[in-house]
Amino acid sequence: MPPEPPPAALRLGIDTEALRANWLALDRLSGSAATAAAVKADAYGVGVLQAVPVLRDAGCHDFLVAHWSEVASLVEIVDPESISVLHGPMNFGDAAFARATGVRPVINSVAQARLWQESGGGVCDVMVDTGINRLGLPLADLADEAIGALEINVLMSHLASADEDVALNALQRERWTQARRQLKHRRGSLANSAGIALGDAYHGDLTRPGLSLYGGIPRRELEGIIRQVARPQAAIMQVRTIAAGDGVGYNSTFVASGEMRVGTIAMGYADGYLRCWSDRGAMMAAGKCLPVVGRVSMDMTVIDLSHAPELVEGDWVEAEYSLPDAAAASGLSQYELLTILGTRFSR
Ligand SMILES: *Cc1c(COP(=O)(O)O)cnc(C)c1O
């Protein structure tokens, strides 16, 4: 056995207090509806092992993942009956896995409904497509007998544009309400993070935030309520002083106009700190802003330490990574900025 590796020179700081506060705030905004947590994609990159115990202890009883492969780490932490798998069963292997683990499949089509029933049936959830045209039961199939035969816990639908004020929101709500009248179910669910901010009429019995749990702010109403959770941090590996005319990094996109002190940190685009931050991102340490200079490399980024003479090799810095600001600066979505953070971060 090789020895345990030493601690990584980059870590994703998880503000568990902010995560807890975000879930509680979304739960409060959800009114009388219960509040689930979307924890797919390793809790949006934050880390299931770190995030889910916090959400569970805050009072969350419903967890959503996309893939069957995401169930294993989750059943170690929460009751299988609290887990829904959004992609649903594609074959008997999936259905058998659902039964063996006790998690609920989300049924997205008549074919999935038949498969689930033929493999033994049992309580499931149903996703009705009310206008996103992505994954879910078409409205025209609501009356199918295979759907009518299902034992449905959560009858859900998903909003396409909850982060915008468009007519589609009310139309989808109306169609979802119709579907709720048509199919027997225990709980109705429509709202994602942004949908929660659309108000009571969108809440049903269960809301399903993801992004905002982890610090994303998809609508103005959530500003000042939702706090940053994920904080990419890296150690300074090397410090040097460069002279006027010296270039930094690949293709010398930054050229020093005078003598300056720069530091190289152990974080690059392979970690999800993308090339879009070249010459425009910044790190923070001791209350100071340390601009990125030159191109972000695969495993390294160089920052300006001119105004932070106290920082030396081995010290840590933190990326400016408030999701709304980072999205505005980079052109990436808040979702991408989170889920792209790589596996080399210790979490
Ligand atoms: C990802 C997902 C959510 C969470 O959406 P956010 O916009 O991240 O809040 C809710 N419901 C379904 C079906 C999802 O796929």
Is any ligand 1 atom within 6 A of the Cβ of residue 193?
A: yes
pLDDT of residue 117: 97
Is any ligand 1 atom within 6 A of the Cβ of residue 210?
A: yes
- Nearest ligand 1 atom, CA 106: 13
Is any ligand 1 atom within 6 A of the Cβ of residue 209?
A: yes
Is any ligand 1 atom within 6 A of the Cβ of residue 43?
A: no
pLDDT of residue 114: 98
pLDDT of residue 2: 84
Burial class of residue 28 (count of CB atoms within 10 Å of its CB; 0-12, 13-18, 19+)? exposed
Domain boundaries along the sequence of the chain: 10-222, 231-321
User: Smallest Cα–Cα separation from 33: which of 161, 240, 184, 188?
Assistant: 188
Cα 309 to ligand 1 centre (Å): 44
Would you tell me which CATH number, out of the four given (3.20.20.10, 3.40.50.300, 3.40.640.10, 3.20.10.10), belongs to the domain 10-222? 3.20.20.10
CA angle centred on 81, ends 35 and 216, rounded to 5°: 30
Strand locations in the chain (E): 10-14, 34-35, 37-38, 63-65, 83-85, 104-107, 123-129, 137-138, 151-156, 187-189, 206-207, 230-242, 247-248, 254-255, 260-265, 282-285, 288-291, 301-304, 316-319
Catalytic residues: 40, 250
pLDDT of residue 246: 98
Same fold for the domain at 10-222 and the one at 231-321?
Answer: no
- Nearest ligand 1 atom, CA 212: 9
pLDDT of residue 77: 97
In angstroms, rounded to a whole number, what is the distance separating the alpha carbons of residues 75 and 117? 23
Is any ligand 1 atom within 6 A of the Cβ of residue 169?
A: no
- Nearest ligand 1 atom, CA 216: 8
pLDDT of residue 240: 98
pLDDT of residue 1: 81
Q: Which of 44, 55, 64 to mutate to test the pocket of ligand 1 (most atoms within 8 A of CB)?
A: 64
Return the C-alpha torsion angle 93, 99, 105, 109, nearest 10.
Answer: 60
In angstroms, rounded to a whole number, what is the distance separating the alpha carbons of residues 124 and 153? 6
Cα 149 to ligand 1 centre (Å): 27
Q: Do residues 253 and 279 lie in contact, with contact meaning Cβ atoms separated by under 8 Å?
A: yes
Residues of the chain with pLDDT under 50: none
CATH (residue range 231-321): 2.40.37.10
- Nearest ligand 1 atom, CA 192: 9
SS3 127: strand
